Amino acid sequence: MAHKKGVGSSRNGRDSNPKYRGIKKYGGEFVTAGNIILRQCGTKWHPGANVGMGTDYTIYSLVDGVVQFAHKNKKAYKVNVVPVEYVEETSEELVEA
């Protein structure tokens, strides 16, 4: 006699919900304080200046500004947000020059 039950559609039906991970705001995009910049598993991207990290490794903006991605070292990246005041000052200097 067979010791294994027949495996059919009754044993299927386990599928997890989508997690919607990835980058939500790209480099150069304007963000307001509290905007989610990216969702991730673990720390592929690390928080930099004016950026916070949630318990699920979600990186979010702490100030209004422009998103900037940079290399932290050879393997890791970091995410910064350049504040609005700093962006406005540098753009005014470029116009005057």
Residues 6-59 have pLDDT tens digits of 666 777 788 899 999 999 999 999 999 999 999 999 999 999 999 999 999 999
Is residue 85 very low, low, confident or very high in pLDDT (cuts 50, 70, 90)? Answer: confident
CATH number of the domain where residue 67 is located:
2.40.50.100
Q: Is residue 53 part of a domain?
A: yes
Total domains in the chain come to 1
Q: Is residue 46 part of a domain?
A: yes
Neighbouring-strand partners of residue 61 = 51
Q: What per-residue confidence (pLDDT) applies to 39?
A: 97
Structural domain of 71: 22-83
End-to-end CA distance of the chain: 89
Q: What per-residue confidence (pLDDT) applies to 57?
A: 97
Q: Is residue 89 part of a domain?
A: no
Rounded CA gap, 52 and 45, in Å? Answer: 12
Q: Is residue 71 part of a domain?
A: yes
Q: Is residue 17 part of a domain?
A: no
Neighbouring-strand partners of residue 13 = none
Is residue 90 very low, low, confident or very high in pLDDT (cuts 50, 70, 90)? Answer: low
Look up residue 18 and give its two tokens: 């989508």
